[in-house]
Chains A and B, each alone.
Chain A
């Protein structure tokens, strides 16, 4: 079954204790991205990757790291979590769009089931 798998689903941790949220997709997608979802702020992009070894900052990258050593995996790392990183996190993937401007053609974005992180 084609899917994006995130783990863990729930995580409670303490300030400063490094953690990793894993994300894996089995659809051979080039594009992967991390979002966080907070009440009143909607979905905001943290980091994205266009392909292996290619990553870039989204809108809210502070306090996060990512890596893309393999096409299927895109882990999110919190080196020193803080309470303001308490949130619902989503990993997503899609094929890369081709073309530019009006000729650009994309593909559906698929989300993992989410990771609810609480930092105390």
Chain B
């Protein structure tokens, strides 16, 4: 099956720093989403981004589907950005809306 790898696995930042999280996938996809799991366990959808670039405030994401990767950029990080970031994909052959989740990047932002 498809492999979804995220890097780095852990990231520690000071408030105000910028960061880039990466998601690589081993097969073609037609659906890619980024999620943030906050320290209270809630999973929040950040982006639905099967291709191209989107921005939402300090966060932006870019997916290059032909090269099988996606990047999540966090600028001017804040302590509230702490948590785990997941990317999830639906392989091209599935057609079931099923998302396969990566193992996540754990981000800690210190004041």
Q: Do A and B come from one complex?
A: yes
Interface residues of A (CB under 8 A from B): 31, 33, 42-43, 45, 48, 50, 56, 58, 88, 90, 92, 94, 96-97, 100-102, 104-111, 113-114, 116
B60 interface contact, C-beta 8 A: no
CA distance A50 to B96 in the complex (A): 8
B30 interface contact, C-beta 8 A: yes
CA distance A106 to B50 in the complex (A): 9
Residues of A within 8 A of B43 (CB): 90, 92, 111, 114
Q: By the criterion CB–CB under 8 Å, are B33 and A108 in contact?
A: yes
Nearest residue in B to A95 (C-beta to C-beta)?
B97
Q: A106 touches which one: B42, B97, B104 (CB < 8 A)?
A: B97
Q: By the criterion CB–CB under 8 Å, are A111 and B45 in contact?
A: yes
Residues of B within 8 A of A100 (CB): 95
Q: By the criterion CB–CB under 8 Å, are A106 and B90 in contact?
A: yes
Q: 24 A-B pairs, CB-CB below 8 angstroms?
A: A31-B97, A42-B104, A43-B88, A48-B98, A50-B97, A58-B98, A90-B43, A94-B97, A100-B95, A101-B95, A102-B28, A102-B30, A102-B92, A104-B30, A104-B31, A104-B92, A106-B30, A106-B90, A107-B48, A109-B88, A110-B45, A114-B42, A114-B43, A116-B41
Q: By the criterion CB–CB under 8 Å, are B97 and A97 in contact?
A: yes
Interface residues of B (CB under 8 A from A): 28, 30-31, 33, 35, 41-45, 48, 50, 86, 88, 90, 92, 95-99, 101-104
Q: Apart from A43-B86, A104-B31, A106-B31, what 19 extra A-B contacts exist at CB < 8 Å?
A: A33-B98, A42-B103, A43-B101, A48-B96, A48-B97, A50-B96, A58-B98, A97-B97, A101-B30, A102-B92, A106-B30, A106-B90, A108-B33, A108-B48, A109-B45, A111-B42, A114-B41, A114-B42, A116-B41
